[in-house]
Amino acid sequence: MTREPVVVAEDLRRSYGDTVALDGVSLTVEAGEVFGLVGPNGAGKTTLVRALTGTTSVEGRVRVFGDPPAEGDRSRVGLLPQEFAPAGRLTVRELLAYYAGLYDEARPVDAVLDDVGLADTADTWYEELSGGQRRRACVGAALVNDPDLLFLDEPTTGIDPAGRRAVWGLVESLSADGTAVVLTSHSMTEIERLSDRVGLLRDGGLVAVGPPGGLVADHAGPARLVVEPADGTEPSATGGDGAQGDDGTTALADALREAGFTVTVGDGEVAVEAVAPTEIGAAVDGLDAAGVDYDALTWTEPGLEDAYLRLTGEAFEGLRQPGASVVDDPTDADPGGHGGTGGGNTGEGGGDETTEVEA
Amino acid sequence: MSRLRRVRAEATAATRSFLRRRTAVFFTFFFPVILVVIFGALVRTRPGGGGLFAAPAAYYVPGYLATVVLFTPLSRIGSEIARHRDDSRFEKLATTPLTRGEWLAAHTLVNLGVISVASLLILGLVVGLTGATLPVAPALALLVPFVALAVVLFCGFGAILGRVADSQDGVIAASNTIALPLLFLSDTFLTPSLLPEWFANAALVSPLTYFARGVRTVTFSPTGTDLPAPPLGTTGNLAVLAALAAVFFAVGAVAVPRTE
């Protein structure tokens, strides 16, 4: 027997004047699943959360526990809105007791205070808390009814690292107990750590949905090794033939090329794409053998943020990757990207200040 | 019990929030006090001498009570709704079992408590400063339902204002604009003889008229004056006020925002 997902959304659409906030979004969330929602500012994340909680009207179909969200059992849902500010002159304890009082059955306030790490400031007015403590109190307010479905819209904004980890632990614990969580955040670390699946919104549409690992594998591009020349040479644009290598990059590029790597050069750095961790030693050996000095050698494994940047078209143009640093259409993103054969290191369409040297 | 539990939780939180805003508390009570002091003690009542305060002092009791019964719910409920909306509190509450009617009921109870205290203060000041004499009779107890129903009515009105206005500033401006003419043109401070004849019918449009006339039936006797007895009497005014309170509360409950 298959159970209906906790949340079912089909073809959701919503516009504000000429601005399209949701453009045919469909998704499901299962019990015990953490569904991460990411996207640029204005992509439609908060509108989507409001649609799923029934606090805004949308075209399309939404079901939460089988009912329209505004008509279902509200005692099973918890919500932390994005810009939520409760009454300032209630203590944290009073605040949680207030929200607990709105439900027939609620968790003990002291337990919630412990969960969000505010037991020591329980008798402090909300308005006298720090920004991070306030947000934790708001998270607590979303948890008082022990919800089966929890919407957290940027729950850790302004929270310090320790507090953030406490909230993460809470989400993991709730999920393990069967609570479905819809989590929006701009922290890719948070989304990658907590989410079972991630939905990436752009311009009101879901452009990708999948497990974080799958999104990274499909969209984030290859691992990169970046080598910075030794100090004393000014970064400068180098020609494609590497003839003007007085900033030190040409010597580095030649050494790595000699060691069998495909390299790109730009902005005073040399990058090698699609380098496995086991190949780093070979690169170091190649540089040592050539007697080339360098200041730093950085290996970067692509993460969800890289996938996000590519899929949202917001790729950072630092060391420009020819042909793939900006992905205008997510369907054009090359999910492979290994060894100079795809994913942005083929040299096609690259910037003027870059060069690629085939090994 | 669930409903009571939710209303109690909301009312308790709202009461605490209000009582801890000392400026709001001070001016909530200072406003009617200053009105009684200015009109009752400085301008003074001059029975039989003509002018604004020509009627006996007790005639103006409904007017003084109307200041808190009218202004306080309009501005407090309206601005509370604006504040809730600005802070996404309704968005949060929409996912809880608390209904809009329960929210309004809870905040109406808080206003009822505040206004009851303010009304007692006003009655004391009116008697003490203006020399008004209130008839000590069982009928005086009818002040309680009159005040309660008017509070319910204007809390509903305040909810409608809060929904329509798009900011706290807008709510305050709108409530003042609406309340000020109602306060003076609803058979409160001005005797009917001071207004054009045709205005007698216009005053019937104001809900406050039924509060003022009803309260006057239990706080003032026109015997020995040339003032007419209030139309509809105690029961009639109470019935009209109850009906209007029900309508305004229902519309106000629907007006409480649930969405963005």
Q: Are B55 and B191 in contact (CB under 8 A)?
A: yes
Please report which helix (H) or strand (E) contains residue B1, including its range.
none
The answer to whether A61 contacts chain B (CB < 8 Å) is no
B95 to chain A: which residues are within 8 Å by CB?
A: 53-55, 74, 77-79, 151
Asked if the Cβ–Cβ distance from A74 to B97 is below 8 Å, we say yes
CB atoms within 10 A of CB A211: 13
Per-residue pLDDT band for B243 (boundaries 50, 70, 90) equals very high
Residue whose entry in the numeric block shows the structure tokens 């719910």: B73
Superfamily of domain A7-210: P-loop containing nucleotide triphosphate hydrolases (3.40.50.300)
Per-residue pLDDT band for B168 (boundaries 50, 70, 90) equals confident
Residue B175, SS3?
Answer: helix
Which has the minimum average pLDDT: A68-72, A206-210, B163-167, B228-232? B228-232
**pLDDT (average), residues A198-227:** 89
- Give the nearest chain B residue to A47 (CA atoms): B260
Per-residue pLDDT band for A232 (boundaries 50, 70, 90) equals low
Per-residue pLDDT band for A359 (boundaries 50, 70, 90) equals very low
Pick from A79, A94, A101: which is nearest to B95 by CB? A79
A interface test, pick of B19, B23, B86, B91 with most A CB neighbours within 10 Å: B91
The predicted structure's pLDDT at residue A210: 93
A53 to chain B: which residues are within 8 Å by CB?
A: 91, 94-95
Query: Does any domain span residue B50?
Result: yes
A224-229 and A180-184: which strand pairing?
unpaired
Asked if the Cβ–Cβ distance from B16 to A90 is below 8 Å, we say yes
- Give the nearest chain A residue to B11 (CA atoms): A98
Query: Does any domain span residue B260?
Result: no
- Which domain, by its residues, includes B41? 2-255
What's the whole-model pTM score? 0.81
**How much is the mean pLDDT over chain B?**
88
Does the pLDDT at position A159 exceed 80?
Answer: yes
Which has the minimum average pLDDT: A39-53, A67-81, A248-262, A335-349? A335-349
Give tens-digit pLDDT for B192-235.
Answer: 777 787 777 788 889 999 999 999 999 887 777 777 777 888 99
B79 to chain A: which residues are within 8 Å by CB?
A: none
B8 to chain A: which residues are within 8 Å by CB?
A: 101
Asked if the Cβ–Cβ distance from B97 to A103 is below 8 Å, we say yes
Asked if the Cβ–Cβ distance from A85 to B87 is below 8 Å, we say yes
B260 to chain A: which residues are within 8 Å by CB?
A: 50, 55-56
Query: Does any domain span residue B101?
Result: yes
Pick from A55, A89, A101: which is nearest to B258 by CB? A55
Question: What are the structure tokens assigned to B154, written together?
Answer: 């204007």
Give tens-digit pLDDT for A310-347.
Answer: 888 765 444 333 333 233 333 333 333 333 322 333 23
The predicted structure's pLDDT at residue B238: 96
The predicted structure's pLDDT at residue A317: 42
Quick one: angle between helices B233-255 and B143-164, nearest 10?
Answer: 30
Per-residue pLDDT band for A307 (boundaries 50, 70, 90) equals confident
Q: Nearest CA to CA, how far is B84 from chain A (Å)?
A: 8
The residues spanned by each domain of chain A are 7-210, 219-357
Per-residue pLDDT band for B46 (boundaries 50, 70, 90) equals low
A to B CB pairs, distance under 8 Å: 93
CATH architecture of A219-357: 2-Layer Sandwich (3.30)
Residue B183, SS3?
Answer: helix
Give tens-digit pLDDT for A74-102.
Answer: 999 999 998 899 999 999 999 999 999 99
Q: B119 to each of A300, B124, B130, B147, how far by Cα in Å?
A: 72, 9, 16, 8
Pick from B2, B13, B96: which is nearest to A87 by CB? B13
SS3 for chain A is CCCCCCEEEEEEEEEECCEEEEEEEEEEECCCCEEEEECCCCCCHHHHHHHHHCCCCCEEEEEECCECCCCCCHHHEEEECCCCCCCCCCEHHHHHHHHHCCCCCCCCHHHHHHHCCCHHHCCCEHHHCCHHHHHHHHHHHHHCCCCCEEEEECCCCCCCHHHHHHHHHHHHHHHHCCCEEEEECCCHHHHHHHCCEEEEEECCEEEEEECHHHHHHHHCCCCEEEEEECCCCCCCCCCCCCCCCCCCHHHHHHHHHHCCCCEEEECCEEEEECCCHHHHHHHHHHHHHHCCCEEEEEEECCCHHHHHHHHHCCCCCCCCCCCCCCCCCHHHCCCCCCCCCCCCCCCCCCCCCCEEECC
The predicted structure's pLDDT at residue A3: 63
**How much is the mean pLDDT over chain A?**
82
Asked if the Cβ–Cβ distance from A83 to B87 is below 8 Å, we say yes
How far is A61 from A28, CA to CA, in rounded Å?
A: 12
Asked if the Cβ–Cβ distance from A87 to B260 is below 8 Å, we say no
How far is A48 from B31, CA to CA, in rounded Å?
A: 45
Asked if the Cβ–Cβ distance from B17 to A99 is below 8 Å, we say no
The predicted structure's pLDDT at residue A339: 31
**pLDDT (average), residues B37-66:** 75
> Which of A147-156, A277-286, B39-48, B179-188 tops mean pLDDT?
A147-156
The predicted structure's pLDDT at residue B132: 82
Asked if the Cβ–Cβ distance from A54 to B2 is below 8 Å, we say no
How many domains is chain B built from?
A: 1
Residue B55, SS3?
Answer: coil
Pick from A77, A82, A88: which is nearest to B95 by CB? A77
The answer to whether A229 contacts chain B (CB < 8 Å) is no
Q: Nearest CA to CA, how far is B3 from chain A (Å)?
A: 9
The predicted structure's pLDDT at residue A106: 94
Query: Does any domain span residue B133?
Result: yes
The predicted structure's pLDDT at residue B136: 80
Higher pLDDT, A339 or B113: B113
Does the pLDDT at position B163 exceed 60?
Answer: yes
Question: Is it true that A7-210 and A219-357 share their CATH fold?
Answer: no
- Which residues of chain B have a Cβ shorter than 8 Å from any chain A Cβ? 2, 5-6, 8-10, 12-14, 16-17, 20-21, 87-98, 258-260
> Which of A45-54, B120-129, B133-142 tops mean pLDDT?
A45-54
The answer to whether A15 contacts chain B (CB < 8 Å) is no
Does the pLDDT at position A243 exceed 70?
Answer: no
